[in-house]
Structure 1
Amino acid sequence: MNRKTPRRHRMVFALAALATGTGVGLVATAGTAQSAPPAPAAVYSGFKNQFTLTTVANGEREVGRLRLPAGSYTIFAKLNLDVASGGNQHIRCFLRAGGDFDRSIANHDGTIAFMPMSLNVVHTFAAPGSVVLRCGHVFAGGSTPVSFIKITAIRASSLSNTPMP
């Protein structure tokens, strides 16, 4: 009976410490959890409701930028191309975070009022950095209204980005 009492007290202490958030070091040193707690999840987002994209053929222009603290992120961007009726434009956008990027191209003939576009990239910033959304006209220069631009980054404790079969 005496052998079980100290163990029970240690278990109660460990559970109480975990419940109050003070037991991470105790549990980590006992080898029952990771040695360091993962970074807390966080969501960062920025928006721009109106923008006019004006570029020469095959040129690019920054549409939006979101500054982020160091960490691992999955990052999404979305925007609407508002091509006037009868217009015919080809627009290419890149979402870049360090050396990682996504690209999307929209061919818009103006028969639909708004053409949505979305992009996604994952990246780990070793130091604070920025994710940048850049767009431009392909084949011919132009001026296109862009609306409801959003960039959202979700911080994660780890990332996995592998080719799919």
Structure 2
Amino acid sequence: MARRKLKEKSRKKPYAEAADDEKVARNWKKTIGLYQRGEYSSATLRAAICMELMTNFAIRDELVTTKGLPLDFVNTLLKDANGIHRKFTGILLPIMEEYEEHVHLKQLWNGPIKQLNERRNRIAHGGEFDSEQPVKKILDDARKAIVEIMDIFGSEQKFPEP
């Protein structure tokens, strides 16, 4: 007599257990979904979260994986820095000065990353709203920066276009 078998449920790893680059990819997917549903301000805020998570990934990769610093120490640095501006300009750029990629990282900061952060602040702290066209450009630029930086630090995650 044949027995029925239940399908095995495919479960994603809980978010808290996901690697940093997985968190960036999951948040990017959420960003795209918000944009497609017309939630433009929320998409901008979520893209800024992706940028900060991307920065965390890069810093942890360099300080823990490459330099061998204790993870708890690096996590304290990240927590104390609180925000993409302090993390990127105060931690990531200084630790990357010895590498060829430093100039490119600085250009990304002075371009799309800084623009996204400023836009995020106007929404989060100034109560402004976004519309489709400006957000499309912001997300295109953000995606390009995320892909480039994640590639520098060895991530193989995919980030679909908005």
With structure 1 as the length reference, what TM-score do the two structures score? 0.22
With structure 2 as the length reference, what TM-score do the two structures score? 0.23
Q: Which is greater in Rg?
A: 1
Larger strand proportion of the pair? 1
